Amino acid sequence: MLSPGQKAPAFTLFSSDKKEVSLAGFENKNLIILFFPMAFTSVCTAELCEVRDNISTYAGLNADVVGISVDSPFTLARFKEEQNLPFDLLSDFNKDVSQAYGAYYDTFVMNMKGVSKRAAFVVDQQGIIQYAEVLDNAGEVPSFQAIQETLSTLK
């Protein structure tokens, strides 16, 4: 499991807009990385819509947001459009990034293999993890208060 003080694993994934997005592209910004199990499920929708509804708070803390799941870019595009999400959703279809961040279920509900765990990471402008929360229970959501408190120390 990754913890604060460690270098965040580099990644390049395709977004819901079918463009490559890399961790390196967020230099000079803090980044919130939200791993989520599956688009269109109730808890994932509630979690990402909560971030959407507070996006100005995160912008005020010099932070961008990305959501990562093992869904295809096409599924994520539909989900992003339906929920009007103002941040990139990235497809970890090959599951490499979820595994690198320790946010990975070998077996999920209904015997589905290889699904992202719900997790939140705050990566600072130098690419160092400042906050890490990986949840084993997919029915729980990360502590957005703790994420905001971490970001406020990085201003």
DSSP codes joined into one string, the chain: ---TTSBPPP-EEEETTS-EEEGGGGTTSEEEEEE-S-TT-HHHHHHHHHHHHTHHHHHHTTEEEEEEESS-HHHHHHHHHHHT--SEEEE-TT-HHHHHTT-EEEE-GGG-EEEEPEEEEEE-TTSBEEEEEEES-TTS---HHHHHHHHHTT-
Question: Considering the entire predicted model, what is its pTM?
Answer: 0.95
Q: Where are the domains of the chain?
A: 12-152
pLDDT the model gives residue 111:
78
Q: Which fold has domain 12-152?
A: Glutaredoxin (3.40.30)
Name the band, by pLDDT with cuts 50, 70 and 90, for residue 148: very high
| pLDDT tens sequence across 81-125 | 999 999 999 999 999 999 999 999 987 777 778 899 999 999 999
Catalytic status, residue 49: no
**Per-residue pLDDT tens over the stretch 12-45:** 999 999 999 999 999 889 999 999 999 999 999 9
Query: Which one from 8, 38, 44, 132 is the annotated catalytic residue?
Result: 44
